[in-house]
Structure 1
Amino acid sequence: MDYGLNSIIKTKKKHPCGNDEWEIIRMGADIKIKCTKCNRIIMLSRRNFNKRLKQVVK
């Protein structure tokens, strides 16, 4: 899948707030994503990120 900085993505599992859309705010060996509903930020390794990625929205 093609994604980059500031892309909106959907994950396979929902966040505890009930949202499954995230914005990519940092890319490198690790990827930092921010929940679009509650603004919680998490950091994942690229390998874990690719496992959890469902689709690229925008």
Structure 2
Amino acid sequence: MVVAVVVGVIAGVDSFTSTSSDGHSFVVVFFFFKSDRDVNVASTDVRSRLDLRRATVPFDAQNP
């Protein structure tokens, strides 16, 4: 749920998909191709926003 809250508000994001199982999660973020936003900047924004929410995930979770 943390990912949905974070990724859902980032400019240029079209959609995302998330799959989780015991001890693993996999998230793919899709960006609008016609967005005027640089994909590298948007990717950095995703990482930065996830870092801000780091305290809400299990302490032993690895960084993406």
Instruction: Give the TM-score of the pair, scaled to structure 2.
Output: 0.27
Larger radius of gyration: 2
Indicate the structure with greater helix content: 2
Instruction: Give the TM-score of the pair, scaled to structure 1.
Output: 0.28
